[in-house]
A and B are shown apart, each in its own frame.
Chain A
Amino acid sequence: MRFWVIQSLNGLALGGLLFLLSSGFSLIFGLMRVANLSHGAYFMLGAYVGLSVLNAGYGFWTAVVAGALTIAILGGVIERVLLRRLAGRTFSQVLVTLGIAFIIADSSLLVWSGDPMPLPVPRGLMGAVPVFGVFFPKYRLAVVGISIVTAVALWALLERTRLGAMIRAGVDDMEMARALGIPVPRLFTAVFCLGAALAGMGGVLGGPILSVYPGLDMDMLPLALIVLILGGPGSLPGAFAGSFFIGFLYTFGQALFPQLAYVILFLPMVAALVLRPKGLFGARAA
């Protein structure tokens, strides 16, 4: 019983983290058809920026905002200067986003020395609390909460605002959106900034659990891709369901089949994709 409770909570917490990582990735791909292979690097850079803000003496939540804003600005510049001209050119997108990932990774080594560094858990969220008879870290519960709040906020943005309506129109049918007079270029910049901000925020929020170290970027990128493909690109509910599905699969897979730990994510992934090439939850998959 204890096993199932605590591993379920672990699955939830990891799922929450994955949602923060991959919601922006999915949003960008859904609207712009850009597989932003720098997304893992954005996540890592967000964590590093957050760390520097914390080291400068500011609080944790300031660091979260700073991480999100910095990466949003960076993403916006990259979108304006580079990606904008590459619509529909998948090869160039792969080259430029991986190139940027290399640049970010190597600059981070220069600036943050390459030593692995943890981000401190915010003061009020340290320690463990009893949940259904087991002790579970407070901060992880908070991550689950934050990811749900983020999901609801994003849902409200997409379903209840004008911007959201334009994004949905763009995801459904780009040509139609253009014909309706939606300012597609500005919309793209906005969405790319938003997606990047989510990655940066996720990096800072993930920091107390994952720590930040060189290689975090490439550890995270495949996870974001998995959630994207499982959930269906551009589908917020899909990304949400996909994240938690992966969280549970990973956690229980490792606990129940430790010999398969190295392949526990990708083996079911291949099976799922072979059986359902368009994703498990996605309705609008490419």
Chain B
Amino acid sequence: MIRVLLVAAFSLLLLAPALSPSDFYVNVATQILIAAIFALSLNLLVGYGGLISLGHAVYLGVSAYLTIWLVTRAGLSHLPAAVAAVVLTTAMSLLFGILALRATGLGFLMITLALGQILWGLAYRWVSVTGGDNGLSGFQRPQPFGIDLASPRTFYLMTVAVFACAFVLIAVLVRSTFGAGLRGVRDQPRRMQALGWHVWMVRLVAFVAAGFWGAVAGVLYAYYNQFVSPHVLALTNSAEALLMVIAGGAGTLLGPVVGAVVVVMLKNVVSAYVTRWVMLLGLVFVAIVAFMPEGLVPGIDRLRRRRRPAGTT
């Protein structure tokens, strides 16, 4: 019963922005959801796989570049371009996964960071394809089945739909046997190996799944911004996603979503009132670590449970 109520409340929350009188809040909500999908994808690696990546912006960025490039430069129509962008980016994540999973821990972090920096440099340097730092523009949102996605509201509703898919499918994935295996590999790799799990393969599958959902977020990013430039591949973008995951609660389903809400709101709404919003963001992170080191979602959970001891419900 409570579960049904929660789902209903959650859905209402998702649909509420569409009723906002100002397009601005609709657009902020859209950005939150795109960031949330991106953070959810990274959470597969970081939270469930225990592999800290500092190069996840690559999948969002490459997919966004491909989406826009395939339409504006190669003349593809929207659907094949989006599908190709996701497929190609996912294939790239398979390759990068094979490279990065040569190591774990710091080595893994370093390889992902290095791959990210290489693609960032490539985006700056390969001007004939990427447009250099002037980026790629002149990209229009599609009109599938006569629905005009140029309108912020319809675009938001489409983003909600994609987000819901991503959330449910990722939830199913982490609750499956595979998800249990992934967590097992994170906590007890040796034991899992002894139990017959192929540790490396489990991690690779998680890596590719993360790449896939990152690519999906990238397509939405491309549609939303209608512009892409090397900044999307910058280290700061990867770090921001990582911070969303950890701040919200790594290894929880809602954590990355909450993290995305916090970061996007600070960046896009609070910054209108607080000039030094970057400092505020830093302070928020420090405060989270000081008071809820496990992240906001598990932290609030803990506080709630303490206030209402088990059995009283």
Write out, one digit per residue, whether chain A residues 222-257 have a CB within 8 A of any chain B CB (1) or not (0): 100110110001000000000000000000000000
**A274 and B102 contacting across the interface, CB-CB below 8 Å:** yes
Query: A152 on the interface (CB 8 Å rule)?
Result: no
- Pick the contact of B114 from A95, A105, A218, A270 — CB < 8 Å? A270
Is A273's CB under 8 angstroms from B111's CB? Answer: yes
Note all chain B residues with C-beta closer than 8 A to A90. Answer: 52
Contacts of A225 in B (CB 8 A): 109-110, 113
> B114, B276, B286, B294 — which one has the most chain A CB atoms within 10 A of its CB?
B114
Closest to A270 in B: B114
The answer to whether A6 has its CB under 8 Å from any CB of chain B is no
Q: 1/0 per residue A118-154: CB within 8 Å of B?
A: 0000000000000000000000000000000000000
- Please tell me which stretch of B22-30, B213-221, B238-246 contacts chain A, meaning at least 4 of its Cβ atoms lie within 8 angstroms of it: B238-246
Bound CA span A125–B113, Å: 37
Residue pair B246, A274 in contact (C-beta under 8 Å)? no
Q: Does B115 contact A (CB under 8 A)?
A: yes
Q: Does B14 contact A (CB under 8 A)?
A: no
User: CA of A120 to CA of B110 in the docked complex: distance in angstroms?
Assistant: 34
State the total of A-B contacts with C-beta under 8 angstroms.
124
B169 to chain A, nearest CB (A): 24
Stretch at the interface among A7-15, A47-55, A155-163, A259-267: A259-267
- Known contacts A100-B282, A218-B236; decide if A92 and B114 are in contact (CB<8 Å): no
Pair B289/A101 contact, Cβ less than 8 Å: no
**A95 x B285 contact (CB < 8 A):** yes
Question: Chain B residues near A96 (CB, 8 Å)?
Answer: 285-286, 289
Question: Which single member of A29, A102, A266, A277 contacts B281 (CB below 8 Å)?
Answer: A102
The residue of chain B having its C-beta at the shortest distance from the C-beta of A101 within the complex is B282
Determine if B103 is an interface residue (Cβ-Cβ < 8 Å). yes
Residues in B neighbouring A103, C-beta threshold 8 A = 279, 282-283, 286
Chain A positions within 8 Å of B293 at CB level: 85-86, 89, 92
Interface centre among B107, B120, B124, B276 (most CB of A within 10 A): B107
Question: When the two chains form the complex, which single residue of A92, A263, A286 contacts B246, counting CB atoms closer than 8 Å?
Answer: A92
Instruction: Give chain A's interface residue range (CB within 8 Å of chain B).
Output: 35 or more
Contact with A along B207-241 (1 / 0, CB 8 A): 00000000000000000000000000001100100
**Size of the chain B interface, CB-CB below 8 angstroms:** 44
Contacting residues, chain B, for A262 (C-beta < 8 A): 120-122, 124-125
Q: Give the chain B neighbours of A263 by CB distance below 8 A.
A: 117-118, 121-122, 125
Q: B289 touching A266 by the CB < 8 A rule? A: no
Give a binary string over A81-107; 1 marks a CB under 8 Å from any B CB, 0 the rest: 010011001111011101111110111
Roughly how many angstroms separate A285 CA and B124 CA in the complex, as a whole number?
34
In angstroms, Cα B276 to Cα A265, docked, is: 33
Nearest CB of B to A112, in Å? 14
Of A99, A228, A259, A267, the contact of B118 (CB 8 Å cutoff): A267
In contact, B102 and A273 (Cβ under 8 angstroms)? yes
**Bound-complex Cα distance A263 to B294 (A):** 36
Give A29 to B276 CA distance when docked, in angstroms.
31
B261-313 contacts to A, CB under 8 A, are 276, 278-279, 281-286, 288-290, 293-295
Q: Which residue of A lies closest to B279 (CB)?
A: A106
Give the residues in chain B near A284, CB-CB below 8 Å. none
B246 touches A102 (CB 8 A): no
Question: Quick one: which of A92, A99, A228 contacts B282, CB cutoff 8 A?
Answer: A99
Give 6 closest A-B pairs by Cβ, nearest first. A262-B121, A99-B285, A102-B282, A277-B103, A103-B282, A106-B279
Q: Which residues of A contact B (CB under 8 A)?
A: 29, 35, 82, 85-86, 89-92, 94-96, 98-103, 105-107, 110, 218, 222, 225-226, 228-229, 233, 259, 262-263, 265-267, 269-270, 273-274, 277-279, 285-286
List 19 contacting pairs A-B, 8 Å CB cutoff, sorted by A: A82-B286, A86-B289, A89-B293, A94-B243, A99-B281, A99-B282, A99-B286, A102-B278, A102-B282, A110-B276, A110-B279, A229-B106, A233-B106, A262-B122, A262-B125, A263-B122, A267-B118, A270-B115, A273-B103
